[in-house]
Structure 1
């Protein structure tokens, strides 16, 4: 079987900018309009700041790609960019266009950690380095981990990864990471409650479609090994069982618990499940 092509965003794509939700909203509107343009034209249309030599438009466009809310149509290297909403991006634009809901932020975070199309630093912290770092680690330990991965100086290597989860303008509602007074960074596991079921199920089906497009069933162990369905949310064994129980109750997957490891079979398509992502929000 051919290896999947990986298009993770490079380490410094963000230019140290955090993903401000007001600008993500503006980019979603631009994509929904069907327009295209170079960075300056996108800046004029969206109000996202863009200077002559630098600006936030490239970073926000890349954040939106990494979060899985848009894809670029045509030649990605062209100066003219034409973003298009993904099924996840479309339901977010319709139901939570300012990304205020905690579950929206969690799914966008999951996508940033993606093996295939996320962002390199998020992938290294929340997937590859998850076991080494744990759920609580000193900031210097994180710097050391990333500097070893990239073979670079540790100064500034973390970038905006922690800040974005502490800033109300970005992703504080999900608050995946926060830093305590003694420079200890705490990682929160994704919450498991009823309102998250359809969203987690849609994300799981998307992982299956992306990584195992011809499979009609897959073991949970293989889905985590290849795509991080348990590792990226930060779940332990018990939490992962509660999560799969929740997703099964929503009718999104069938679970065969007679086998070890457990086997799951889709009972819906990812696109159908994305459309129901907000059904259980109170």
Structure 2
């Protein structure tokens, strides 16, 4: 069962682009300091018990942008290879492409922010389908053990806010009222290398050492279609596009189809923004 404290890392604050950007800048400088010093230098508010500095450090980490450690209240920040590329290309997170990267990292299986990952990877009923909020809370109660009456405020309010009027709202991926609807998406050519990064990154994490995976691994193991809002046909189109780019090869003569990687994460990161007009 998921550790309850890990679900409340957000302290009820949803992720905000300006604060993620400021943490990114400090990480680019390999900054070290207390949450109060980080607040003073960045303008991100904090307090004795609650504040936005620590949640946004953790958000930036879940988004794959920074590494951090904390020793006796001193946070040491640094950029990941992904964060280095984002900081060079889009330090203020203005591009939807950057937000798709952050959304992917937040929802990746086993390694994302717990409640974001749970919503997309486990509770998600299928593209174009809906899930009632009551159904989500009942499912999540079995997952994390938090009372249904507390799940909204303690676990999912920040997830809802991030997709309805927050950092990920521009992506048009989720509509959240009494029903939670997962909106079908089409392939976006400027995201070609985001798709390949997501596939290869999850491949490394979930299938380490394997050069070949199946179509089932892609869709059910990695949750590739759910992450990006693709139905099965669109998911196949995207994989074929990545094959056309020479990033992988697909054998559809077998069942299930097999996918062989011909690229790695390190080679794809410098290309993430190369298709932006």
Q: Same fold (TM over 0.5)?
A: yes
* Aligned-partner Cα distance in 2 for 1:249–1:219: 18
Secondary structure of the 2:149 match is coil
2:73 corresponds to: 79
**Residue ranges of structure 1 left out of the alignment (5+ in a row):** 1-5
Equivalent position to 1:103, from 59, 75, 97: 97
Secondary structure of the 2:10 match is coil
* Aligned-partner Cα distance in 2 for 1:99–1:71: 18
Q: Deviations 1:44-63 (Å, cap 9, x if unpaired)? A: 22221111221101110111
Q: How does 1:52-71 map to 2 (within 5 A)?
A: 52-71=48-67
Superposition deviation, residue 190 in structure 1: 4.5
Aligned length: 272
TM-score by length of 2: 0.88
Residues 120/8 of structure 1: CA separation in 2 closer, same or farther (3 Å cut) = farther
Secondary structure of the 1:55 match is coil
Superposition deviation, residue 133 in structure 1: 9.8
Superposition deviation, residue 280 in structure 1: 0.9
Q: Deviations 1:89-126 (Å, cap 9, x if unpaired)? A: 22211112222222221221121112232111112111
* Aligned-partner Cα distance in 1 for 2:99–2:106: 11
Q: Deviations 1:193-223 (Å, cap 9, x if unpaired)? A: 2111111111111112222231222223224
1:30 corresponds to: 26
Superposition deviation, residue 134 in structure 1: 7.1
Q: Per residue, is there more helix in 1 or in 2? A: 2
Quick check: 1:126–1:232 contact (8 Å CA) kept in 2? Answer: yes
Equivalent position to 1:165, from 155, 163, 166: 163
Task: List, as ranges, runs of 4+ consecutive aligned residues in structure 1 with deviation greater than 6 Å.
Answer: 6-9
Secondary structure of the 1:127 match is helix
1:276 corresponds to: 271
**Residue ranges of structure 2 left out of the alignment (5+ in a row):** none
Equivalent position to 1:129, from 123, 130, 142: 123
TM-score by length of 1: 0.87
Residues 109/78 of structure 1: CA separation in 2 closer, same or farther (3 Å cut) = farther
Quick check: 1:177–1:185 contact (8 Å CA) kept in 2? Answer: yes
Residues 237/9 of structure 1: CA separation in 2 closer, same or farther (3 Å cut) = farther
